[in-house]
Amino acid sequence: MWSVLFLLNGCQRDCLFVDSFSFDKAKWNYNQPVIWEVDVEDTINTHHLSLFMRNNLEYPYSNIYFFTSIIYNDSVFLSDTSQYLIADKYGRWLGRGFGGLKDNYFLMKENMVFPKRGKYTIRVTHGMRADNLQGVEDLGIKIKNTF
Helix (H) or strand (E) holding 6: helix 2-8
Report pLDDT digits (tens) over 60-99.
Answer: 999 999 999 999 999 999 999 999 999 999 999 999 998 8
Tell me which residues of the chain have a pLDDT lower than 50: 1-8
The amino acid that residue 132 corresponds to is N
3-state secondary structure of 25: helix
Extents of the domains making up the chain: 2-145
Give the CATH number of domain 2-145: 2.60.120
User: Does pTM top 0.75 for this prediction?
Assistant: yes
